Amino acid sequence: MSWSDERVELLKKMWTEGQSASQIAKELGGVTRNAVIGKVHRLGLSNRNGGGGAPAAETPAPETAQPAPRPAPKPAPRPVEDAEPEPVQTVAQARAKAIIPAGRPLPPQPSANEIDPEALAKVSEIEKKAKKLTLMELTERTCKWPVGDPATPDFWFCGLPVQSGKPYCEAHVGVAFQPMSSRRDRKR
């Protein structure tokens, strides 16, 4: 399908009348809704409110127009080998970190001011005894508490025996599942 002058004029007329891209495509025949939307954008007709697009009469719309220049590429990130390795962190240190990089999923966690300090101390001790399992080594009987940054090779799961009916060991259950009353008391 080619955009003849007559078809372009009909498109412009119907677009300025407020017709939808689907209606225009049906009227023109042999063209999809997306093709109409693309042509509308190339003609500068995309803003019907009159705030940004050029008026239809002033747009010559040559078919052989040069494509818009591409924006300059963003600078490449530093190679991994140049980056300093991040030290392995305890759960308490990881929570104390205010900024978490985007795209890094975390398990549901209470906020730092809601965590029982005794439970955090217990977690620090228990992580020294952890089995440090990989994802593939986890079972229904092993603690699934993640430790470290998932994007690094130092990432691991606790792996200690789970508390009955919970996905974590006793120490990590103490951090992950806290009664509402104790959380309310600490907020005051």
Phi-psi category of residue 67: left, alpha or beta, with phi > 0 → left and psi -120 to 50 → alpha: beta
How far apart CA 71 and CA 76 sit, in angstroms, is 15
**What pLDDT is recorded for position 53?**
45
Written as six digits, the tokens of 173 are 């259950």
**What pLDDT is recorded for position 52?**
44
> pTM of the prediction?
0.36
Lowest mean pLDDT among 38-42, 44-48, 68-72, 90-94: 90-94
- Render pLDDT for 162-188 as a digit per residue (tens, 0 to 9): 988 899 998 888 888 766 665 555 555
**What pLDDT is recorded for position 119?**
72
**What pLDDT is recorded for position 162?**
93
Question: Closest Cα partner for 150 from 104, 92, 115?
Answer: 104
- Render pLDDT for 73-112 as a digit per residue (tens, 0 to 9): 666 665 555 555 556 666 556 555 545 556 666 555 555 5
Q: What is the residue whose two structure tokens read 């140049």?
A: 82
How far apart CA 173 and CA 5 sit, in angstroms, is 70
Query: How many helices and strands in the chain, by DSSP H and E?
Result: 7, 2
Whether the CA torsion 160, 124, 94, 89 is positive or negative: it is: negative
- Render pLDDT for 119-177 as a digit per residue (tens, 0 to 9): 777 777 888 888 889 999 999 999 999 988 888 888 999 999 998 889 999 888 888 87
CA 179 to chain centre: 31
